[in-house]
């Protein structure tokens, strides 16, 4: 936040005159800003212009959800949004022995759990304090699921059971999702809140998970070899129609570091040393970022929702469009007629490409929801068409990609605004360099793809006012400030 505010302050000083000018009521296209805003410069004219925007909803599922190196938030659950439909998030992840080649015969197993630390965030309507979920656990049988592959495989690659996870272990009892935020009291302290999936030792299929882990640990020499035989775990919500089923997606942080076995994702065994009286030992198989893959599979079903018509619309532009955190709905934006900025000088008749001082795409949530919030942030991509297909690339304003400063300048963060006595969320994306590049390349249309943020895969959605929304306060706008040398 400090970095972002610092960047904004620098940019603000540089374009303060421009910003003041374009925010005054009654500013019109091609209005020259007073030279008083730029004392000492008398050979530059500054203009403003607004462009019409064509907007469509598209679906994009080629999102890589397994390439995070830290703060790995993964969702598991089914959210039922009355306006947008059903979102299903399932988790693939791997574990390795906390201590390699443990002598398991020296211990008596008392109980066992799968531990997933709660991130503190649940997406959807979590107001029902009695709502529950059932989680099913499978062993992954697909050997291609590995750390190297999960860094490059998009979310639409792996199927759900039985395609990629063909070894069923067990289904949990009812899990109250409202209480996930409660800390767990053990050994005299309050431990990190987490999901505890109990492994029933009397269920042969559930117990097989433990024997699989122990036998493979005993027969392999190191972590990489262990993972060639135990490919990982797949956890999904058992999608039922029970009356009190939680229609939310809780998120868990796999790599949450701490001092106890409740701070990171693991399979936790409570055992007693057979040679010692009253002994209590914890054995873990841990998610280890150095060796273990992770992957969030997110799917959507829009068929029964009102927004399904957005995907099927054949209009050139729609008054409302849908935006979600990936994978999911994205906004396709086309801004035509940008070469109108390139006009010959009225005296010399010399054609000069103008200098783009500011180019802002502004859009607003047109149909707010208290339970299903819009993304925290949005991000633009440049779109080019190659052999009839859209190809995405970074906008020119993102470079250098090794720096965070361009991200702060582009912005795209969620802000609140009051329209007709109702609170809405709005976004502003700054892309002057991308517009400048398009003009230099003699393009007459600026084509952008707007994605939701990526902190929580599959969470958040927003119904956005499109370029032809009948409400002027809600319609998407593209405003440009540019200058020409006299």
pTM: 0.84
Is there a single domain that holds both residue 381 and residue 447? yes
Is there a single domain that holds both residue 195 and residue 323? no
Give 160 or 68, the one with higher predicted confidence: 68
Query: Which domain-ending residue is among 237, 257, 292?
Result: 292
Interval 241-286: pLDDT, tens: 655 788 899 999 999 777 888 999 999 999 998 777 667 899 999 9
Is there a single domain that holds both residue 239 and residue 331? no
Is there a single domain that holds both residue 131 and residue 248? yes
Is there a single domain that holds both residue 11 and residue 79? no
What does the mean pLDDT of the chain come to? 86
Percentage of the chain exceeding pLDDT 70 = 86
Is there a single domain that holds both residue 165 and residue 34? no
Domain membership of residue 297 (yes or no) is no
Q: For strand 107-124 and strand 135-139, is the pairing parallel, antiparallel, or unpaired?
A: unpaired
The pLDDT of 307-321, averaged and rounded, is 94
| pLDDT band with cut points at 50, 70 and 90 for residue 166 | low
Q: What is the pLDDT of residue 155?
A: 57
Percentage of the chain exceeding pLDDT 90 = 64
| pLDDT band with cut points at 50, 70 and 90 for residue 152 | low
| pLDDT band with cut points at 50, 70 and 90 for residue 148 | confident
| pLDDT band with cut points at 50, 70 and 90 for residue 14 | very low
- Nearest Cα to Cα of residue 406 among 430, 384, 428, 382: 430
Domain membership of residue 425 (yes or no) is yes
| pLDDT band with cut points at 50, 70 and 90 for residue 71 | confident
Domain membership of residue 65 (yes or no) is no
Q: What is the pLDDT of residue 34?
A: 42
Domain membership of residue 300 (yes or no) is no
Is there a single domain that holds both residue 253 and residue 358? no
Q: What is the pLDDT of residue 240?
A: 63
Range of the domain at 430: 2-60+309-485
| pLDDT band with cut points at 50, 70 and 90 for residue 426 | very high
Give 92 or 156, the one with higher predicted confidence: 92
- Whether the CB-CB separation of 50 and 30 falls below 8 Å is answered with no
For residue 334, with 0-12 CB atoms within 10 Å meaning exposed, 13-18 middle and 19 or more buried, which class applies? Answer: middle
Q: What is the pLDDT of residue 92?
A: 92
Query: Which domain-ending residue is among 258, 292, 326?
Result: 292
List, in sequence order, every beta strand (DSSP E) within 325-465. 328-336, 355-364, 378-386, 389-394, 415-419, 422-430, 445-452, 461-465
The pLDDT of 113-122, averaged and rounded, is 95
Is there a single domain that holds both residue 198 and residue 285? yes
Is there a single domain that holds both residue 99 and residue 242? yes
Q: What is the pLDDT of residue 266?
A: 97
Q: How many structural domains are present in the chain?
A: 2
Is there a single domain that holds both residue 282 and residue 381? no
Distance CA 334, CA 448 (A): 6
Interval 462-485: pLDDT, tens: 999 999 999 999 999 999 999 987
Is there a single domain that holds both residue 314 and residue 224? no
Residue 222 in this model has a pLDDT that exceeds 90: yes
Domain membership of residue 126 (yes or no) is yes
Is there a single domain that holds both residue 105 and residue 207? yes
Domain membership of residue 67 (yes or no) is no
Query: Which domain-ending residue is among 292, 317, 344?
Result: 292
Domain membership of residue 303 (yes or no) is no
The pLDDT of 428-450, averaged and rounded, is 97
| pLDDT band with cut points at 50, 70 and 90 for residue 394 | very high
Q: What is the pLDDT of residue 75?
A: 96
User: Given the structure tokens 């009190």, which residue do they identify?
Assistant: 244
The pLDDT of 344-372, averaged and rounded, is 90
Domain membership of residue 288 (yes or no) is yes
- For the record, the structure tokens of 152 come out as 């490059």
The pLDDT of 450-455, averaged and rounded, is 86
The pLDDT of 318-331, averaged and rounded, is 94
Give 356 or 162, the one with higher predicted confidence: 356
């Amino acid at each position: 936040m400090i970095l972002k505010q610092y960047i904004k302050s620098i940019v603000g000083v540089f374009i303060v005159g421009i910003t003041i000018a374009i925010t005054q009521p009654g500013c019109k296209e091609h209005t020259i800003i007073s030279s008083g805003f730029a004392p000492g410069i008398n050979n530059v004219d500054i203009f403003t212009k607004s462009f019409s925007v064509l907007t469509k909803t598209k679906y994009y599922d080629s999102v890589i959800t397994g390439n995070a190196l830290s703060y790995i938030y993964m969702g598991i659950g089914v959210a039922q949004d009355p306006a947008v439909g059903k979102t299903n998030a399932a988790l693939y992840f791997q574990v390795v022995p906390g201590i390699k080649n443990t002598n398991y015969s020296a211990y008596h197993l008392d109980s066992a759990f799968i531990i997933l630390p709660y991130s503190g965030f649940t997406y959807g309507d979590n107001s029902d304090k009695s709502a529950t979920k059932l989680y099913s656990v499978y062993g992954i049988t697909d050997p291609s699921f590995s750390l190297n592959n999960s860094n490059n495989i998009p979310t639409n690659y792996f199927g759900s059971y039985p395609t990629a996870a063909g070894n069923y272990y067990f289904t949990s009892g009812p899990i109250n999702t409202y209480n996930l935020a409660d800390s767990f009291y053990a050994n005299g302290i309050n431990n990190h809140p987490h999901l505890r999936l109990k492994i029933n030792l009397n269920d042969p299929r559930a117990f097989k998970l433990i024997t699989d882990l122990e036998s493979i640990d005993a027969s392999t020499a190191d972590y990489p070899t262990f993972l060639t035989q135990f490919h990982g775990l797949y956890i999904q919500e058992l999608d039922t129609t029970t009356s009190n089923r939680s229609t939310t997606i809780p998120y868990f942080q796999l790599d949450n570091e701490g001092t106890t076995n409740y701070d990171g994702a693991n399979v936790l065994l409570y055992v007693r040393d057979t040679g010692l009286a009253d002994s209590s030992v914890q054995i873990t198989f841990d998610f280890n970022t150095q060796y273990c893959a992770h992957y969030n599979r997110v799917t959507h079903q829009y068929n029964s929702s009102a927004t399904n018509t957005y995907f099927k619309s054949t209009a050139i532009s729609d008054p409302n469009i849908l935006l979600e955190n990936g994978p999911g709905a994205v906004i396709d934006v086309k801004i035509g007629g940008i070469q109108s900025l390139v006009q010959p000088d009225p005296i010399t008749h010399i054609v000069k490409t103008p200098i783009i001082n500011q180019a802002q795409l502004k859009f607003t949530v047109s149909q707010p929801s208290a339970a299903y919030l819009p993304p925290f942030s949005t991000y633009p991509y440049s779109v080019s068409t190659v052999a009839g297909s859209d190809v995405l690339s970074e906008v020119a304003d993102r470079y250098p990609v090794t720096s965070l400063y361009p991200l702060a300048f582009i912005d795209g963060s969620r802000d609140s605004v009051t329209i007709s006595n109702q609170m809405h969320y709005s976004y502003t994306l700054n892309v002057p360099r991308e517009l400048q590049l398009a003009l230099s390349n003699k393009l007459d249309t600026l084509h952008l793809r707007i994605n939701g943020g990526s902190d929580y895969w599959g969470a958040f959605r927003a119904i956005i006012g499109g370029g032809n929304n009948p409400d002027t306060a809600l319609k998407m706008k593209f405003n440009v400030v540019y200058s020409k040398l006299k």
